[in-house]
Amino acid sequence: MDIFWLTVYVLIWPVVVGGTLFVIVRAFYREWRQARAEGRGMV
Amino acid sequence: MDLETGDYQLLAGSVVLGLLVLFYGGTFVMSLFIGKKKENADGYMTAGNKIGFGVSAASMTATWIWASSMYASATSGYTYGISGPIHYGLWGALMILFIYPFGRRIRAVAPKAHTLAEVMYARHGRSSQLMLAGSNILGSVISLTSNFIAGGALIALLSPFSFRQGIIAVAAGILLYTLWSGFRASVLTDFAQVVAMLGAVVIIIPVVFFAAGGPGLFETGASNLSAQQSNFFSSDAFMNQGAPYIAAVLAYAIGNQTIAQRLFAVREDLIKPTFITATIGYGATIIGFGMLGVIALYAGITPIDGDTNNLIPQMAVTYLGPVLLCVFFIMILGSLSSTADSDLAALSSIAMADIYGQSVGKKNANPKTMLLVGRITMILATAAGLFFATGQMNILDLLVFVGALWGALVFPVIASFYWKKVTNMAFTVSTLAALALFLPVRFEWISMSGATGYIVDIISIVGVGVVLGLMSFGFFGLKIARIIGIAAVVIVAPFAFGTLHEYAVLSGSLVAYSVSTVVCYLMSVRSKQDFDFSTIKDRVGDFDPVETVTSDVDPVVTSK
């Protein structure tokens, strides 16, 4: 592997983690709003 | 560096104390928001089987990421080079993914269950339940101990406090926010913990990479790597790290009550997205952390005291400033706490449902007593974890044994959810026979020279077919699974025969799979049993009285 691809290989993981975090936080926020609107707890 | 005396102080005691209060105080306040004066026993175990995607995905990700997996991935990167983190993190992630099709089946058969062992009791009887529950308890206590040790070591490393003070602070903090609301507190606080963990990963990995030299490091440090370490398709990495992990994929997922508990807690239609998101989140986080080991290898860093578990903290104190060091501290604290609180919730559920609930019977179980049993279990489990952690007991051999027990249980458990003919006797005998053959192979109690080695090779090659066949079965069904299993045996046999027994970890696991599968199949195939799966949901269900809601009437409490 050359230097460019090794760099991509190291740095791609924080990007994927960031994307996953976004998906989780967005879903949590939506569920929190919905639960609040319905007057019930989330768990 | 001496982790126990803490002579490697980098954060002031007041800062560490402040971070501990901030973290555990914050999670405790979160748990107060959902706390009820009168908790519900089913809610305490599975949050009513209806939690949403955001909470469940966060919880599954946070639970599966523990401090030890971060350290182990970095160790793999440091030891095996650029492919090392993949051979640790990818297969660990697939443990979550490969269990989800089976999870959907388990949930369909027992929609209101609390533990897998509870379902096994309904399917087979006491001995099957005991083996599964026993392995779950051992696994969770080991995990709890390991997380306490990681917390104590971290605090001793970064502060003037001792290892012993560290484990007590961590154990008390976790128990504080988990004790009252159980699983509900565990899953809700997992969200905050996963935000802290994943957020820290996004920042810390690039910062360490560029501080260590950035892309230029791959040029200047290339000479530090052996040919195998530089090779992305390293056979060393595959045979010693990747292959044993592939074999363990189904075992750890089946044997882990923390996964089963989330499987029963999430809304049934959200099982698939939850498990897929957790797979990606776990995989990227752990592989990403493994890159710190690869960077250390390129940078020519030697682990302090020769212990590769020191690599991640060492990289942190070398390349991070005080603020990011605090972020790092919170991240590790989040990873170990989220797993440890799940272990406490898992242990309390087993005590509530399997020990108390099944012993007095579902109809006779008193929810108040169940809650008391759950809370006492949490306190006792914390005490046991502290005892093992302070005693510096070697828990790794125990973990190997539990892993083998889980491997031996995989086929009997999965088959019990699909095949009507599997009997309690077949389940029990096949598991015990697999364990009996695993032990001498894994711990090399017998010489592998001559015919013994060849016999172990043949059994292990069958095990390869079993593992790949079971993995395929979940996604593609029996026909494809048979083809893949047989093809795997035919393809692997010429390469593996004569050599597989040289890899004790791998061949031990494969023997456990192989023997349990063959014995369970042979004992069941002629059985006259014709089990009706629809009876399970009647025998495994809610312990609390059910609240019935009608359109114009307030909730009415009725007895089930």
Instruction: Tell me which of B307 and B300 has the higher pLDDT.
Output: B300
> CA-CA distance, A28 to A30, in Å (whole number)?
5
Domain boundary (B357, B372, B392) is at B392
The predicted-structure confidence for B117-137, as pLDDT tens digits, reads as follows 999 999 999 999 999 999 999
Q: Which long-range contacts (CB under 8 A, 24 or more apart) does B223-231 make?
A: B224/B297, B224/B298, B224/B299, B224/B300, B225/B81, B225/B82, B225/B297, B225/B298, B226/B81, B228/B80, B228/B81, B229/B80, B229/B81, B229/B82, B229/B84, B229/B297, B230/B81, B230/B82, B231/B81, B231/B82, B231/B83
Contact (CB, 8 A) for B65 and B197: yes
Q: How confident is the model at residue A8 (pLDDT cuts 50, 70, 90)?
A: very high
pLDDT at B39 over 90: no
Quick one: B92 and B129 in the same domain? Answer: yes
On chain B, the residues whose CB falls within 8 A of the CB of A28 are 54-55, 58, 191
Quick one: B380 and B455 in the same domain? Answer: no
Does residue B420 lie within any of the structural domains?
yes
A35–chain B nearest CA distance, Å: 10
**Minimal-distance CA residue of chain B relative to A11:** B206
Percentage of chain B beyond pLDDT 90 is 74
Across the interface, do B219 and A3 touch by the CB < 8 Å criterion? yes
On chain B, the residues whose CB falls within 8 A of the CB of A32 are 54
Across the interface, do A11 and B209 touch by the CB < 8 Å criterion? yes
Percentage of chain B beyond pLDDT 70 is 94
Q: What b/e string do you get for B516-553 counting C-beta neighbours within 10 Å, with b at 16 or more?
A: bbbbbbebbeeeeeebebeebbebbbbbbeeeeeeeee
The predicted-structure confidence for B250-296, as pLDDT tens digits, reads as follows 888 888 889 999 999 999 999 999 999 999 999 999 999 999 999 99
Backbone angles phi, psi at B378, to 5 degrees: -60, -45
Looking at residue B249, what is its pLDDT? 79
Q: Which of B45, B287, B295 to mutate to test the interface with A (most CBs of A within 10 A)?
A: B287
Looking at residue B554, what is its pLDDT? 36
B206–chain A nearest CA distance, Å: 6
CATH of the domain at B376: 1.20.1730.10
Domain boundary (B392, B427, B453) is at B392
Quick one: B487 and B376 in the same domain? Answer: no
Confidence (pTM): 0.91
Quick one: B374 and B420 in the same domain? Answer: no
Q: How confident is the model at residue B395 (pLDDT cuts 50, 70, 90)?
A: low
- Cα B90 versus chain centre, distance: 14
> CA-CA distance, B302 to B296, in Å (whole number)?
8
Does residue B96 lie within any of the structural domains?
yes
| Alpha-carbon radius of gyration of chain B | 24
Of A1, A7, A10, the CB nearest to B232: A1
On chain B, the residues whose CB falls within 8 A of the CB of A23 are 57, 277
Quick one: B379 and B401 in the same domain? Answer: no
**Minimal-distance CA residue of chain A relative to B201:** A14
Quick one: B421 and B351 in the same domain? Answer: no
Q: How confident is the model at residue B456 (pLDDT cuts 50, 70, 90)?
A: very high
The predicted-structure confidence for B482-523, as pLDDT tens digits, reads as follows 999 999 999 999 999 999 999 988 899 999 999 999 999 999
DSSP state of B266: B
Looking at residue B2, what is its pLDDT? 47
Token output for A30: 């939506």
The predicted-structure confidence for B149-198, as pLDDT tens digits, reads as follows 999 989 988 889 999 999 999 999 999 999 999 999 999 999 999 999 99
Token output for B95: 């443990």
Q: Which of A10, A29, A31 to mutate to test the interface with B (most CBs of B within 10 A)?
A: A10
Q: Which of A17, A21, A40 to mutate to test the interface with B (most CBs of B within 10 A)?
A: A17
On chain A, the residues whose CB falls within 8 A of the CB of B295 are 10
Looking at residue B557, what is its pLDDT? 36
Q: Is B84 exposed, middle or buried (0-12, 13-18, 19+ CB in 10 A)?
A: buried
Quick one: B358 and B450 in the same domain? Answer: no
Quick one: B388 and B447 in the same domain? Answer: no
B263 touches chain A (CB under 8 A): no
Does residue B445 lie within any of the structural domains?
yes
Task: Give how many domains chain B has, as a whole number.
Answer: 2
Q: How confident is the model at residue B541 (pLDDT cuts 50, 70, 90)?
A: confident
> What domain range includes position B403?
394-531
DSSP state of A38: T
Of A9, A10, A28, the CB nearest to B54: A28
Does residue B335 lie within any of the structural domains?
yes
Q: Which of A20, A22, A26, A33 to mutate to test the interface with B (most CBs of B within 10 A)?
A: A20
* Residue bearing tokens 């509900």: B184
Pick from B511, B133, B138: nearest CA to B354: B133
Does residue B3 lie within any of the structural domains?
no
- Cα B238 versus chain centre, distance: 21
Direct distance between the N- and C-terminal alpha carbons of chain B, in angstroms, rounded to an integer: 60
Quick one: B92 and B218 in the same domain? Answer: yes
Domain boundary (B335, B368, B392) is at B392
On chain A, the residues whose CB falls within 8 A of the CB of B219 are 3
Q: How confident is the model at residue B552 (pLDDT cuts 50, 70, 90)?
A: very low
Looking at residue B545, what is its pLDDT? 74
Looking at residue B304, what is its pLDDT? 84
Average pLDDT over residues B91-119: 92
Looking at residue B556, what is its pLDDT? 35
Looking at residue B453, what is its pLDDT? 95
Does residue B559 lie within any of the structural domains?
no
B52 touches chain A (CB under 8 A): yes
Of A4, A17, A25, the CB nearest to B201: A17
Across the interface, do A28 and B191 touch by the CB < 8 Å criterion? yes
- Rounded to the nearest integer, the mean pLDDT of chain B is 90
Provide the greatest CA pair distance for chain A.
56
CA distances from B174 to B13, B14, B45 (A): 20, 20, 17
**Minimal-distance CA residue of chain B relative to A23:** B54
Looking at residue B8, what is its pLDDT? 52
Q: How confident is the model at residue B394 (pLDDT cuts 50, 70, 90)?
A: low
CA dihedral B136→B139→B140→B143, nearest 10 degrees, is -160
Lowest mean pLDDT among B12-16, B177-181, B360-364, B429-433: B360-364
Quick one: B483 and B513 in the same domain? Answer: yes
Does residue B46 lie within any of the structural domains?
yes
Does residue B343 lie within any of the structural domains?
yes
Length of chain A: 43
Average pLDDT over residues B210-238: 95
Residue B9 CB neighbour total at 10 angstroms: 14
Q: How confident is the model at residue B542 (pLDDT cuts 50, 70, 90)?
A: confident
Looking at residue B551, what is its pLDDT? 39
On chain A, the residues whose CB falls within 8 A of the CB of B218 are 3, 6-7
Pairing state between β B553-558 and B546-550: antiparallel
Quick one: B195 and B146 in the same domain? Answer: yes
Average pLDDT over residues B46-75: 92
Quick one: B388 and B409 in the same domain? Answer: no
Of B184, B284, B295, the CB nearest to A20: B284
Across the interface, do A27 and B294 touch by the CB < 8 Å criterion? no
